[in-house]
Amino acid sequence: MDRIFSVEGAQALMPEARAKVDELIELRADLAELGYDLKTSGISPRGGLADAKGLEARMSEIVSWFADQGIELKGIAPVLIDFPAVRHGVSVRLCWIEGEAELAWYHRSELGFAGRRRL
């Protein structure tokens, strides 16, 4: 069964989610730089192919953490997460995108990001 969040429950999970997002952003940048360097010159101050594989593995662990919590990771550049919820009897997603200060938006599940409204 899919997890359904209350606004309070999702907001309580945000500090841990933000820590994971911060790490994901750092890994994303490291992997982009490393991959570019390896493709263009074959060397990188960030390491080699084994280091890239390690970064990918850690990113996969973080992605799995979101899924294990019942949080939907919709994108990683920028990071966009949705918490399944119900508002006024309607299926919604409490949504947060990289750069926002807090979890303060939702949208109907079938509308996606374009249907965002303030909580």
Predicted confidence (pLDDT) per residue in 31-89, tens digit:
999 999 999 999 999 999 999 999 999 999 999 999 999 999 999 999 999 999 999 99
Contact 92, 72 (CB under 8 A): no
Looking up tokens 């953490």, which residue turns up? Answer: 65
In 3D, which of 70, 108, 66 has the Cα closest to residue 86? 108
pLDDT-based confidence at residue 2 (cuts at 50, 70, 90): confident
pLDDT-based confidence at residue 1 (cuts at 50, 70, 90): low
Q: Specify the pTM.
A: 0.92
